[in-house]
Every structure is written in structure tokens, then in C-alpha cells.
């Protein structure tokens, strides 16, 4: 039995902080601004509306700090046997996907990703109930072709090995 050895380890590129800041900042602005606006719009004195820009700035600052803290916890690893993800603050997550279970490796780039020059690589398996969800996602990758090729190579080795041994 071959010992497991690390072939690639990485953390997300720091540009991912900007993507998360924008996306989370918009969401938190909605919570801190839009919801209170609708709750309090019935009051006659609307001078509190002057605080809305401050609430939006606060939401984006909070988002930036949270994103900077979260990105430090993310770790990606590819070994000769498995793909690993570790990360999280309030909810720590560790995912492991063996190569023989991988069915698809989608690379996605939203508009913000394209501007920042980063890609998200998904690792999908057949066990997601018919929904194309990735078991593991590597966000903030700046060299997606290199990582995808390494994954494909390891998947192929895993399939050849399982055919030789007659197991999966």
C-alpha cells in the first residue's frame, strides 16, 4: 500500500478577500440598512436616515475584517490519494474526497473573479443527490489550469490503479 504524500498545498489568493468583502458587504448592508428602513419608515421623524451611509460603511468594514480572518483558515491540499479542504471560523469544516469518487472538476469565474484574476475549482462526486454541487471548492485560485491538470492526472492514476487491483 502506497503511503499518502502531499503533491500540492495552497491557501486562497488574498484577492479573494475583495470578492468576499463585496458580496458579504452587500448582504450585510441589506440587513443593516434595508430591513431597518422598512421597519422604521412608518415613523414621522426620519432624521435617522442620515445614518444609512454610516451603516453601509460599517457593513463593508465588518465584511472586510471577517473575510480577512476567514481566508487565513482556508487550506487546500492534493495528495496522491485524496483532495482535502480545511477551514472555517465559527463552523470548522474538513472535507476529504478520494480521487476514485470524483466525477467532475468545474472551473468557474464570475465577473468579479475575472476582474480579480481568480478562479473557483469545484470537486464534484456522484453522491450529491442529482444536484451538481461540489463536495470541495478551491476558491481564489490564480493557477487553475495547473491545479486542474494535477487533479485530472491523479484521477486517471486512481482509475488505472483500481482497474489493476479490481477494486474501487
Tens of pLDDT, residue by residue over 24-56, are 999 988 887 776 666 666 655 566 667 778 888
Q: Could you give the CA distance from residue 149 to residue 154 in angstroms, rounded to a whole number? A: 9
Residue 165: the pLDDT is 64
Q: How many whole angstroms separate alpha carbon 56 and alpha carbon 34? A: 10
pTM equals 0.85
Is residue 121 within 8 A of residue 147, CB to CB? The reply is: yes
Mean pLDDT of the 71-81 span: 97
- Rounded mean pLDDT, 103-126: 96
- Whole-angstrom Cα distance, residue 72 to residue 16? 11
- Rounded CA separation 78/84 (Å): 6
Yes or no: say if 97 and 86 are a contact pair by the CB < 8 Å rule. no
Amino acid at each position: 500500500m502506497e503511503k499518502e504524500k502531499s503533491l500540492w498545498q495552497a491557501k486562497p489568493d488574498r484577492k479573494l478577500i475583495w470578492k468576499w468583502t463585496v458580496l458579504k458587504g452587500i448582504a450585510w448592508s441589506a440587513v443593516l440598512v434595508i430591513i431597518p428602513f422598512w421597519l422604521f419608515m412608518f415613523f414621522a421623524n426620519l432624521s435617522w436616515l442620515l445614518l444609512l451611509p454610516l451603516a453601509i460603511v460599517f457593513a463593508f468594514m465588518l465584511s472586510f475584517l471577517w473575510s480577512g480572518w476567514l481566508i487565513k483558515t482556508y487550506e487546500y491540499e492534493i495528495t496522491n490519494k485524496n483532495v482535502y479542504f480545511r477551514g472555517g471560523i465559527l463552523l470548522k469544516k474538513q472535507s476529504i474526497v478520494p480521487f476514485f469518487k470524483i466525477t467532475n472538476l468545474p472551473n468557474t469565474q464570475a465577473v468579479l473573479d475575472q476582474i480579480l484574476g481568480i478562479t473557483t475549482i469545484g470537486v464534484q462526486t456522484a453522491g450529491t443527490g442529482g444536484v451538481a454541487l461540489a463536495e470541495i471548492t478551491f476558491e481564489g485560485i490564480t493557477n487553475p489550469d495547473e491545479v486542474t491538470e494535477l487533479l485530472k492526472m491523479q484521477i486517471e492514476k486512481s482509475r488505472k490503479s483500481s482497474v489493476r487491483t479490481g477494486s474501487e
